[in-house]
């Protein structure tokens, strides 16, 4: 054993919102050697108690302000519905907490700007959890672009769809959001990040039939085309009504065509593992949020760990507040275009 002993201090993190994805934050923090999962918040007391027991958290609350008032807490994850980020994030920043926001940053540009101003004023770290930048397939494409293997990026297509279970069963608030906020946010972030460029023009067509008939008043899908400042073009497909007979809850495919090379990613029906049992056909998650030999893993966990590492080491996260703001700006324009039926310009 080393004679040298190092002194390290665990940082204390809180999680506000412990639903399906909130649990990923619990997994990431609870398994991080430098982090103490100090306090968790949810409006659902039963769920809260269950999570607290499973992840060994002593402090629980239904009022996020209690977490913010706790001076021992260094940082918080905000994993509430899309449209409920601003108030919490601003209060957190004002309380001096570093903030990790689930995607999208917010549903208005003003919300984004307000949160960024609050973080800057307090000097806290603010990151939006665009975790596909940690997806090994997406990272692989990014590296190939950076290395020049594909030549200059010309066009990109991204499909990110969910089965109808997501807006009608998994999310209680599907009708108060859209598939653009939920999945388009990832898609747009990938476009900006892979092209390393800004989107300047948007066109989108949406329809509202199937979900509406099911009592969830939100569009079924958006089919979007975006143009980038440097000349690149991308087609984005976001749909919330795929059949629940699909073996995965989502369908995620990406294609990048450069002047010299072409590449394809399939992050859903890749067939790493296919299972057929009396319960039906299913493809288990092997990449997003996994638990192998007792250890949590997957890129959904790794982006959260990255935030923790940045807080601990005082580093800038790989996703900037501006990434969140520009993302929301595009998402707002997509909704506008789908509404008006016309292209929307995003001048720079």
Among 46, 56, 58, 259, binds its own copies (CB under 8 A): 259
Taking each helix axis from N to C terminus, what angle separates 109-122 and 86-94, rounded to the nearest 10 degrees?
A: 10
For the chain, the first-to-last Cα distance in angstroms comes to: 57
Binding to its own copies in span 316-335, by CB under 8 A: 318
Among 83, 176, 336, 343, binds its own copies (CB under 8 A): 343
Hey, how many other C-beta atoms are within 10 angstroms of the C-beta on 88? 23
Binding to its own copies in span 105-124, by CB under 8 A: none
**Least distance between its own copies and beta carbon 137 (Å):** 4
Decide: is 348 part of the binding site for its own copies (CB under 8 A). no
Among 31, 200, 225, 320, binds its own copies (CB under 8 A): 225
Among 279, 313, 314, 316, binds its own copies (CB under 8 A): 279
Decide: is 100 part of the binding site for its own copies (CB under 8 A). no
Decide: is 134 part of the binding site for its own copies (CB under 8 A). yes
Indicate the residue among 91 and 310 with the shorter CB distance to its own copies. 310
Among 180, 267, 334, 344, binds its own copies (CB under 8 A): 267
**Least distance between its own copies and beta carbon 140 (Å):** 4
Residue 242: phi and psi, rounded to 5, are -65, 155
Q: How far apart are CA 282 and CA 234, in angstroms?
A: 30
Task: State the Cα angle at 226 between 221 and 227, rounded to 5°.
Answer: 175
**Least distance between its own copies and beta carbon 143 (Å):** 8
* CA distances (Å), origin 48, targets 26, 32, 63, 79, 323: 12, 21, 12, 14, 31
Among 85, 86, 306, 329, binds its own copies (CB under 8 A): 306
Torsion of CA 83, 85, 86, 90, to 10 degrees: 170
Decide: is 347 part of the binding site for its own copies (CB under 8 A). no
Taking each helix axis from N to C terminus, what angle separates 136-147 and 185-195, rounded to the nearest 10 degrees?
A: 20
Task: State the Cα angle at 233 between 242 and 200, rounded to 5°.
Answer: 105
Binding to its own copies in span 19-78, by CB under 8 A: 33-34, 36, 38, 72, 74
Among 277, 314, 347, 348, binds its own copies (CB under 8 A): 277
Q: How far apart are CA 231 and CA 242, in angstroms?
A: 32
Residue 209: phi and psi, rounded to 5, are -130, -60
**Least distance between its own copies and beta carbon 204 (Å):** 8
Among 59, 109, 170, 223, binds its own copies (CB under 8 A): 223
Spell out, one character per residue from 200 to 219, where the chain touches its own copies: x when CB under 8 A holds, - when not: ---x-x-x-xx---------
Indicate the residue among 83 and 261 with the shorter CB distance to its own copies. 261
Indicate the residue among 46 and 243 with the shorter CB distance to its own copies. 243
Spell out, one character per residue from 163 to 182, where the chain touches its own copies: x when CB under 8 A holds, - when not: --------------------
Query: Where does residue 148 rank: exposed (0-12), middle (13-18), buried (19+ CB within 10 A)?
Result: exposed
Indicate the residue among 20 and 281 with the shorter CB distance to its own copies. 281
- The DSSP-derived string for 45-98 is HHHHHHHHHHHT--EEES-HHHHHH-TT--EEEE-S-GGG-HHHHHHHHHTT-E
Q: Which stretch binds its own copies (CB under 8 A): 62-70, 78-86, 120-128, 265-273?
A: 265-273
Q: Which stretch binds its own copies (CB under 8 A): 8-16, 121-129, 169-177, 182-190?
A: 8-16
What DSSP designation does 301 have?
H
Among 84, 290, 336, 346, binds its own copies (CB under 8 A): 290
Q: How many CA atoms lie within 13 A of 48 on its CB side?
A: 18
């Amino acid at each position: 054993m080393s004679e040298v002993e190092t002194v390290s201090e665990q940082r204390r993190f809180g999680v506000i919102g412990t639903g399906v994805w909130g649990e990923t934050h619990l997994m990431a923090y609870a398994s991080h050697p430098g982090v103490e999962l100090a306090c968790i918040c949810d409006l659902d007391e039963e769920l809260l108690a269950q999570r607290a027991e499973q992840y060994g958290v002593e402090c629980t609350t239904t009022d996020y302000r209690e977490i913010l008032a706790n001076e021992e807490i260094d940082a918080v994850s905000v994993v509430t519905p899309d449209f409920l980020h601003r108030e919490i994030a601003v209060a957190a920043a004002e309380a001096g907490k570093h903030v990790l926001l689930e995607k999208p940053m917010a549903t208005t540009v003003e919300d984004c700007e307000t949160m960024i101003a609050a973080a800057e004023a307090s000097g806290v770290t603010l990151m939006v959890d665009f975790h596909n930048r940690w997806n090994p397939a997406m990272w692989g494409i990014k590296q190939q672009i950076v290395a020049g293997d594909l030549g200059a990026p010309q066009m990109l297509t991204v499909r990110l769809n969910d089965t109808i279970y997501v807006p009608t069963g998994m999310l209680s608030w599907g009708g108060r959001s859209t598939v653009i906020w939920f999945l388009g946010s990832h898609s747009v972030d990938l476009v900006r990040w892979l092209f390393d460029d800004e989107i300047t023009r948007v066109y989108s067509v949406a329809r509202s039939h199937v979900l509406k008939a099911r009592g969830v008043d939100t569009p079924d899908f958006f089919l979007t085309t975006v143009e980038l400042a440097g000349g690149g073009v991308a087609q984005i497909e976001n749909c919330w009504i795929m059949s629940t007979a699909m073996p995965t809850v989502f369908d995620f495919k990406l294609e990048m065509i450069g002047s010299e090379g072409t590449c394809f990613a399939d992050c859903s029906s890749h067939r790493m593992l296919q299972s057929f049992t009396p319960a039906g056909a299913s493809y288990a998650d092997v990449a997003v949020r996994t638990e192998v030999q007792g250890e949590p893993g997957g890129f959904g966990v790794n982006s959260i760990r990255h935030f923790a590492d940045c807080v601990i080491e005082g580093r800038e996260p790989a996703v900037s507040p501006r990434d969140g703001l520009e993302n929301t700006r595009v998402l707002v324009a997509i909704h506008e275009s789908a509404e008006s039926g016309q292209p929307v310009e995003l001048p720079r």
